[in-house]
């Protein structure tokens, strides 16, 4: 415990004010992070539902279109071409660096491909960006969840510190009151 004097009492009350302000800010940060997490999670759920429907449609098209080709013919027709350009940016949201992938898919015509295969590849180009966005949403949700956990620990630490300060303030007030009462009793004995 600290020494029971008015100077320590004022010092602890000032520190308590700072801890209260820090606690309020951390709670606001946590609220903002939870709102952002729920927004991204909801967006991810909607994207996943949309992708699951589109993916089944795409797989059925691929099965139908590729059933006409054998694998050797398919590999000969699919010459590797650079068709996707990815750039990564970061966005700072309440202390969390979220990934923002920007990508462009270049639909270069492949004259050597059969029409069925061209259609299948263009269909895949339509859903590939959604897969990237879904992966990005999941990664960002994990980062935000980690930050929420960290903020909860900080809040818990500050709440514990606040409780200790409250008990020190009570101890100092009780000691000062006892000292004041003892001084009054002495004065009453002397002058009474």
pLDDT band for 49, please (50, 70, 90 cuts): confident
Q: Where are the domains of the chain?
A: 6-191
Single pTM value for the model: 0.71
Q: Is 69 helix (H, G, I), strand (E, B) or coil?
A: coil
pLDDT band for 26, please (50, 70, 90 cuts): very high
Q: Residue 136: its pLDDT value, please?
A: 87
How far apart, in whole angstroms, are the C-alpha atoms of residue 29 and residue 35? 10
What is the average pLDDT value for the chain, to the nearest integer? Answer: 81
Fold for the domain defined by 6-191:
Helix Hairpins (1.10.287)
Of the segments 84-88, 179-183, 186-190, which one has the largest average pLDDT value?
179-183
What DSSP character marks residue 107? -
pLDDT band for 147, please (50, 70, 90 cuts): very high
């Amino acid at each position: 415990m600290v020494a029971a004097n008015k100077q320590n009492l004022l010092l602890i009350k000032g520190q308590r004010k700072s801890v209260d302000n820090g606690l309020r800010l951390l709670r606001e940060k946590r609220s903002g992070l939870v709102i952002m997490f729920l927004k991204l999670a909801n967006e991810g759920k909607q994207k996943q539902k949309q992708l699951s429907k589109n993916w089944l449609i795409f797989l059925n098209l691929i099965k139908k279109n590729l059933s006409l080709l054998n694998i050797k013919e398919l590999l000969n027709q699919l010459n590797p071409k650079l068709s996707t350009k990815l750039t990564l940016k970061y966005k700072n949201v309440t202390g969390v660096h979220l990934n923002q992938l920007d990508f462009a898919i270049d639909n270069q015509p492949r004259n050597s491909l059969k029409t069925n295969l061209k259609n299948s590849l263009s269909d895949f180009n339509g859903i590939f960006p959604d897969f990237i966005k879904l992966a990005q949403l999941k990664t960002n949700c994990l980062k935000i969840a980690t930050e929420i956990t960290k903020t909860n620990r900080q809040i818990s630490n500050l709440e514990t510190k606040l409780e200790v300060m409250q008990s020190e303030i009570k101890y100092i007030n009780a000691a000062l009151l006892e000292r004041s009462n003892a001084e009054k009793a002495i004065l009453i004995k002397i002058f009474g």
